[in-house]
Amino acid sequence: MKKNKALRAKSTEYRAEFLHSLHPCGKTAGYSAMENNFYFMNEAIKEARKGLGEGGIPIGSVLVKNGKIIGRGHNRRVQKKSAILHAEMDCLENAGRLKARDYKKCVIYSTLSPCDMCTGAILLYKIPKVIIGENKTFKGPEAYSKKRGIKIVNLDMRECRNIMSDFILKKPELWNEDIGV
């Protein structure tokens, strides 16, 4: 039973990647919620790869409102010599000022489980749903977020895990600095 569920999930992931490759403008109507989740997570992965290409930490994020990306970001602590520019913070900054009611209509996607700082911003703005690419290489305060009413969905994507585990192996000191160790 578990194997069939895993195969269905993997099949859905590949189908979503294929379908959305046909719609580069990001049209999401007519697709299942899971297909949309993989589409938007792939956009976050693009941000993570962009950050890695700039010499930074490969974590990416997108903010989605009503099926459209309104903010994108990637971890830029290294590039900007910043103490706080994690992917989610960069994404929220790039989305610009929004009204409280707008944040409540948003979903934030992150290639990695959000840390305490980013979780704080998500809670502050009352973003009701967080879709994460993986939480094996790092797990933020997901239980606390759930207790506060945030819906967390972990896509557990191999690509997200591989990007992070490769980076952590190559630059453990930089990774430890990023997570405050």
Q: Please identify every residue annotated as catalytic.
A: 88
At position 88, the amino acid (one-letter code) is E
**Tokens at 134, concatenated:** 């993986």
Angle between helices 116-124 and 87-95 (to 10 degrees): 30
Question: Which sign does the torsion angle of CA 152, 156, 161, 162 carry?
Answer: negative
SS3 call for 60: strand
Say how many C-beta atoms besides its own lie within 10 A of residue 20's C-beta: 21
